[in-house]
Amino acid sequence: MNDQPAIEESISSSLSSMQSDLPDLNQKIATILTKRCTETLRQHIRSVITQFRGSNTKPPTEASYFVPHIIKPLITFCKVNKQLLSGKRRNECNSIVADAVALRYYNIVFEHLTTLKKTEESSKIMKRLKKGKSTRSSFFAGNNNGDGSDESGALMSDEDKIRLQILLDVKQFGKEVWVFYSCIFVI
């Protein structure tokens, strides 16, 4: 038993080495989970745009099918690894991933809405040119009755349906994240 101090020293050294690698490992896990949560996001948001572009579909009334699945990889990871991760590590990982996913979602939505606005403005200019009207365009053009109609009483435009669908999706995503954080200690 004269080797016991050497064994303790060796174990202590190994543990110190592994603990120093934990922050890097946590960051890698968070990066992988973020990627898994967001890898199809751009494709799904594009599908919202194509769903309403040039179609006579009714305005949306509920979130898209994909929204509840956005943070599913994070939820699964937490359930599977509950016993392996301390509450502190789990909360750190959850916060990092949820924040990164929300930021990525925001950036993709912002990009698509900006493109949608530019396309809408270009389309208005082209229509005015065809009709021989002034090409002056205004950011606040149109009637905002709040009832989905313009001055002529026409139904909601494709662009407005897209915006409404994205709004419903973002609200549902917020609810999903809220429920996840509310249940995090139960998982």
161 domain-assigned? yes
- What pLDDT is recorded for position 82? 85
What average pLDDT is seen over the chain? 82
117 domain-assigned? yes
14 domain-assigned? no
31 domain-assigned? no
Give me the percent of the chain exceeding a pLDDT of 70. 79
Q: Is the dihedral of CA 18, 20, 26, 28 positive or negative?
A: negative
Give pTM, 2 decimals: 0.72
Average pLDDT over residues 131-148: 51
98 domain-assigned? yes
Tally of domains within the chain: 1
23 domain-assigned? no
Q: Which domain holds residue 151?
A: 60-136+147-187
185 domain-assigned? yes
